[in-house]
Amino acid sequence: MTLTERERFIHYYTALTVGGIIQHACPDCVGEMLAGVLDKRCKKLTETEANEILADFRDESVGGCNVMDDIIGDLLSINNEDSAWTPGGGNRS
């Protein structure tokens, strides 16, 4: 099974965003790289569709803040004795 254009764009967006953060790349540079991906790897996806995907990401980021706070809190507490999670993966309960 192959990725859809949308899935491929999301994959590259995520990889470029994380890589950009790690390498301290300027946001404009990451944006230019993403435009190149859109041109070379996601040819059937229009710029409008790509912008809609990014808008959906922003909406989900705002709406999912509480869930992500809980997930990050769980991840940061894995090694704590009172954590519900174990480092090997799994729930202690």
Q: Is residue 81 part of a domain?
A: no
Q: Which domain holds residue 71?
A: 5-76
Burial class (CB in 10 A: 0-12, 13-18, 19+), 53: middle
Q: Is residue 82 part of a domain?
A: no
Residue 92 has pLDDT above 60, yes or no: no
The rounded percent of the chain whose pLDDT value lies above 70 is 88
Does residue 35 or residue 72 have the better pLDDT?
Answer: 35
**Across all residues in the chain, what is the average pLDDT?**
87
Q: Answer whether residue 87 shows pLDDT above 90.
A: no
In a domain, 69, yes or no: yes
Q: What is the mean pLDDT of residues 11-36?
A: 93
* pTM of structure: 0.69
Determine the Cα–Cα distance for residues 52 and 13; give it in Å rounded to an integer: 13
Q: Averaged over 65-92, what is the pLDDT? A: 75
